[in-house]
Amino acid sequence: METTVSNKQVILRDYVKGFPKESDLMIVTASDTVEFKVKHGSAAILVKNLYLSCDPCMGIRMREPNHSTLALIDSFVPGKPIAGIGVSKVIDSDDPAFEKGDFVWGMVDWEGYSTLNTAGMFKIDVNINVPLSNYTGILGMIGLTAYAGFFEICSPKKGETVFVSAASGAVGQLVGQFAKLMGCYVVGSAGTKQKVDLLLNKLGFDDAFNYKEEPDLDSALKRCFPKGIDIYFENVGGEMLDAVLLNMKTFGRIAVCGMISQYLLETRDRLQNLPDIIFKRIKMQGFTSIDYIDIFPKFLQFVLPYIKEGKLIYLEDIVQGLENGPSALVGLFTGQKHWQASNPSRSRMMKSYKYVLRLRDSYTNKTTKSVMY
């Protein structure tokens, strides 16, 4: 049996200005081969990476670091592999808490095999009957983000009105379903008709609109929320946030999860309606999932029964192979979707749901096959 193997990696060529392109990333074979044995005394684990998550914050990490971004996260290092949340299988372990054959999730480099410090790696309970890829999403940091932002920051009450932007994305689809479980009235915005249909017909939203087809976002929100919005789960920023502020109720809450429309702009939008925060005594709070890592067990206790009962669904878009990683990641920001490339009339559609990269064919969950849409 072979004891070493070559290691493919996805490398950042140089810091990116503006929107990332596939050519900003490069697939290489690392000069060192991987030995199937972790160093004795290292307390590390050697893993084979199975799934890698494509996330909007990876676009921020491809840019040169600055004072603001460093308050949250380091940039990737040019010439080195990029990194993100992944699901992996342990091949060898020098940490007694992990055994060969365990499945783990956490931050990994975009490569076939990684040697990892186990701090920050979570062991997966394979008795939980979900696809392994879900640990890049609903059962990982994405799920915690949706849960913490909605419940801890927004404190929802039955009957309240909730608006979610980027509502068919990884986080948004969960927030919308959480809101329905709490008995709220929930409306989502998304960028295509297909996504709007998904929100209405699959994810249980009460109403939804395509923000790209609305000539006036303020009017669209007034149509959906004639009495105003109690809770806004913010994923996009810019003009959507400006229009939402005009439509918030007094003592409304806004969880500022993300501002994907603003991250890669050289000149960001200037908002007109910020004084509404004072006039309406709105609570508006930025947060990251890391801030809520202590409530991860509480989040699991909440979410697992709903998954088991089939009351929460989670949609993933799985792309096959590390070599397709750059186009999948860049597609988050450029609006391309790889499987639509052969259909020019649909090639401007952005991804919906959670975007995951699968590295091995043989590692779907034992009992449930990964959902592929």
Ligand X SMILES: NC(=O)c1ccc[n+]([C@@H]2O[C@H](COP(=O)([O-])OP(=O)(O)OC[C@H]3O[C@@H](n4cnc5c(N)ncnc54)[C@H](OP(=O)(O)O)[C@@H]3O)[C@@H](O)[C@H]2O)c1
Please give the DSSP secondary-structure letter assigned to residue 214: -
User: What is the Cα–Cα distance from 40 to 47, expressed in whole angstroms?
Assistant: 15
Alpha carbons 156 and 161: distance in angstroms, whole number: 9
Q: Under 8 Å CB-to-CB from 346, ≥6 apart: which residues?
A: 337, 340
Whichever of 38 and 62 has its CB closer to ligand X, that residue is 62
Instruction: Using CB under 6 A, pick the residue from 7, 161, 192, 336 that binds ligand X.
Output: 192
* Strand, coil or helix: 122: strand
Say if residues 35 and 3 touch (Cβ distance below 8 Å).
yes
Answer for which of 11, 153, 350, 356 binds ligand X (CB under 6 A) is 350
What minimum distance in Å lies between the beta carbon of 146 and ligand X?
8
The answer to whether 164 contacts ligand X (rule: CB under 6 A) is no
DSSP state of 169: B
- Stretch 254-283: interaction string toward ligand X, x if CB under 6 A: ---xxxxx----------------------
Instruction: Tell how far CA 308 is from the center of its chain.
Output: 22
3 touches 50 (CB < 8 A): no
Residue span binding ligand X (CB under 6 A) among the ranges 51-59, 79-87, 109-117, 225-233: 51-59
Contact map string, positions 62 to 81, toward ligand X, x by CB under 6 A: --------------------
172 near ligand X, judged by CB under 6 A: yes
Query: Taking CB under 6 A as the rule, which mask of x and - marks residues 229-258 in contact with ligand X?
Result: ------xx--------------------xx
* Helix 239-247, helix 217-224: angle, nearest 10: 40
- Shortest gap between Cβ of 95 and ligand X (angstroms)? 27
Binding-site size for ligand X (CB under 6 A) equals 29
For ligand X, which stretch binds (CB under 6 A), given 118-126, 169-177, 323-331, 360-368? Answer: 169-177
Q: Which is nearer to ligand X, 288 or 324 (CB)?
A: 288
Report the alpha-carbon distance of residue 57 to residue 70 in Å, rounded: 12
Closest contact distance (angstroms) between CB of 56 and ligand X is 4
How would DSSP label each residue in 33-99? PEESSPPTTS-EEEEEEEEEE--THHHHHTSPP-HHHHTT-PPP-TTSB-EEEEEEEEEEESSTT--
Residue with the closest Cβ to ligand X?
Answer: 258
We find the least distance from the C-beta atom of residue 316 to ligand X, in angstroms, to be 10
Sorted by sequence, the CB contacts under 8 Å of residue 360 that are 6+ apart come out as: 48, 50
Binding test (CB under 6 A) with ligand X, winner from 88, 145, 336, 364:
145
Contacts with ligand X, residue ranges (CB under 6 A): 55-57, 142, 145, 166, 168-172, 190-192, 195, 235-236, 257-261, 287-289, 332, 350-351, 354
